[in-house]
Amino acid sequence: MEEQHEFRTEKVGALKEAGVLPWPDRFERTHSASEARELPEGTDNVAIAGRLRFIRQMGKLCFAHLQDASGMLQIMIRREQVGEDIFKIIKKLVDVGDFLGIRGHMMVTRTGETTLQANEVVFLGKALRPLPEKWHGISDQEACYRQRYLDLIMNPETRERFDLRTRVVRELRRLLDDDGFTEVETPVLMTRPSGALARPFVTHHNAMDIALYLRIAPETYLKRLIVGGYERVYEFARCFRNEGMDPSHLQDFTMLEYYVAYWSYEENMAFTETLVKDLLTRVYGSLDEAGEKTGIRWAGDWPKVALSDLVERDAEIRLADFPDADSLRAGIKARGFEIEGAEKLGRGSLIDQLYKKVCRPKLTDPMFLTSHPIDLSPLARRNDENPDVADRFQLVVRGWEIANAYSELVDPIDQRKRLAEQAGLKAGGDIEAMEMDEDYLLAMEHGMPPISGWGMGIDRLIALLTKQSNLRDVVLFPTLR
RNA sequence: GGGGGCAUAGCUCAGUCGGUAGAGCAACGGUCUUUUAAACCGUGGGUCACAGGUUCGAAUCCUGUUGCCCCUACCA
Would you say residue A135 lies in a domain? no
Mean pLDDT rounded to a whole number for chain A:
92
Closest nucleotide to the alpha carbon of A341, via C1': B73
* Average of per-residue pLDDT across A198-212: 90
Put simply, whether the predicted model's pTM sits higher than 0.90 gets the answer yes
| Residue where a domain stops, chosen among A104, A125, A146 | A125
Residue type, A32: S
Angle between helix A156-178 and A458-465 (nearest 10): 130
Greater confidence, A352 or A341? A352
Do A236 and A370 sit in the same domain of this protein? yes
Number of domains in chain A: 2
Give the distance, in angstroms, between residue A182 CA and nucleotide B12 C1'. Answer: 50
Do A283 and A374 sit in the same domain of this protein? yes
A374 band by pLDDT with thresholds 50, 70 and 90: confident
Give the distance, in angstroms, between residue A143 CA and nucleotide B52 C1'. Answer: 29
- The set of strand B positions with any atom below 7 Å of a protein CB reads 1, 9-13, 24-29, 31-39, 44-45, 66-76
What pLDDT does residue A315 have? 84
The ipTM (two decimal places) reads 0.91
Do A23 and A102 sit in the same domain of this protein? yes
Residue type, A35: E
A430 band by pLDDT with thresholds 50, 70 and 90: confident
Would you say residue A238 lies in a domain? yes
Would you say residue A358 lies in a domain? no
Give the distance, in angstroms, between residue A243 CA and nucleotide B1 C1'. Answer: 12
Q: Cα(A404)–Cα(A452) distance, rounded to whole angstroms? A: 11
Do A293 and A424 sit in the same domain of this protein? yes
Would you say residue A134 lies in a domain? no
Q: CATH number, domain at A14?
A: 2.40.50.140
Would you say residue A30 lies in a domain? yes
> Which of A63-77, A105-119, A190-204 shows the lowest mean pLDDT across its residues?
A190-204
Print the domain residue range for A172. 156-302+365-474
Closest nucleotide to the alpha carbon of A394, via C1': B76
Give the distance, in angstroms, between residue A481 CA and nucleotide B53 C1'. Answer: 29
A346 band by pLDDT with thresholds 50, 70 and 90: confident
What pLDDT does residue A248 have? 87
* Side-chain-facing half-sphere of A480: CA atoms under 13 Å: 14
Would you say residue A431 lies in a domain? yes
Contacts of residue A111, defined as CB under 8 A and 6 or more positions apart, other chains included, come to none
Neighbour tally for A100: CB within 10 Å = 23
Do A234 and A298 sit in the same domain of this protein? yes
Q: Which residue is nearest to nucleotide B46 (CA to C1')?
A: A2
Do A204 and A277 sit in the same domain of this protein? yes
Closest nucleotide to the alpha carbon of A376, via C1': B75
Greater confidence, A161 or A360? A161
| Residue where a domain stops, chosen among A125, A143, A173 | A125
Do A118 and A179 sit in the same domain of this protein? no
What pLDDT does residue A1 have? 59
Would you say residue A274 lies in a domain? yes
Q: Which residue is nearest to nucleotide B72 (CA to C1')?
A: A246
Would you say residue A310 lies in a domain? no
| Residue where a domain stops, chosen among A125, A143, A175 | A125
Q: Model confidence over A301-322: pLDDT tens digits? A: 999 999 989 988 888 888 888 8
Q: Model confidence over A410-427: pLDDT tens digits? A: 999 999 998 888 888 778
Do A118 and A186 sit in the same domain of this protein? no
Q: Are A450 and A263 in contact (CB under 8 A)?
A: yes
A337 band by pLDDT with thresholds 50, 70 and 90: confident
Do A180 and A112 sit in the same domain of this protein? no
Contacts of residue A221, defined as CB under 8 A and 6 or more positions apart, other chains included, come to A186, A187
Give the distance, in angstroms, between residue A201 CA and nucleotide B76 C1'. Answer: 16
Q: Model confidence over A43-57: pLDDT tens digits? A: 999 999 999 999 999
Give the distance, in angstroms, between residue A480 CA and nucleotide B68 C1'. Answer: 9
Give the distance, in angstroms, between residue A4 CA and nucleotide B45 C1'. Answer: 9
Do A177 and A236 sit in the same domain of this protein? yes
Do A61 and A14 sit in the same domain of this protein? yes
Do A470 and A396 sit in the same domain of this protein? yes
Q: Model confidence over A225-276: pLDDT tens digits? A: 999 999 999 999 999 998 878 888 898 999 999 999 999 999 999 999 999 9
3-class SS letters over chain A: CCHHHHHHHHHHHHHHHCCCCCCCCCCCCCCCHHHHHCCCCCCCCEEEEEEEEEEEECCCEEEEEEEECCEEEEEEEEHHHHCHHHHHHHHHHCCCCCEEEEEEEEEECCCCCEEEEEEEEEEEECCCCCCCCCCCCCCCHHHHHHCHHHHHHHCHHHHHHHHHHHHHHHHHHHHHHHCCCEECCCCCEECCCCCCCCCCCEEEECCCCEEEEECCCCHHHHHHHHHCCCCEEEEEEEEECCCCCECCECCEEEEEEEEEECCCHHHHHHHHHHHHHHHHHHHHCCHHHHHHHHCCCCCCCCCEEEHHHHHHHHHCCCHHHCCCHHHHHHHHHHCCCCCCCHHHCCHHHHHHHHHHHHHHHHCCCCEEEECCEHHHCCCECECCCCCCEECEEEEEECCEEEEEEEEECCCHHHHHHHHHHHHHHHHCCCCCCCCCCHHHHHHHHCCCCCEEEEEEEHHHHHHHHCCCCCHHHHCCCCCCC
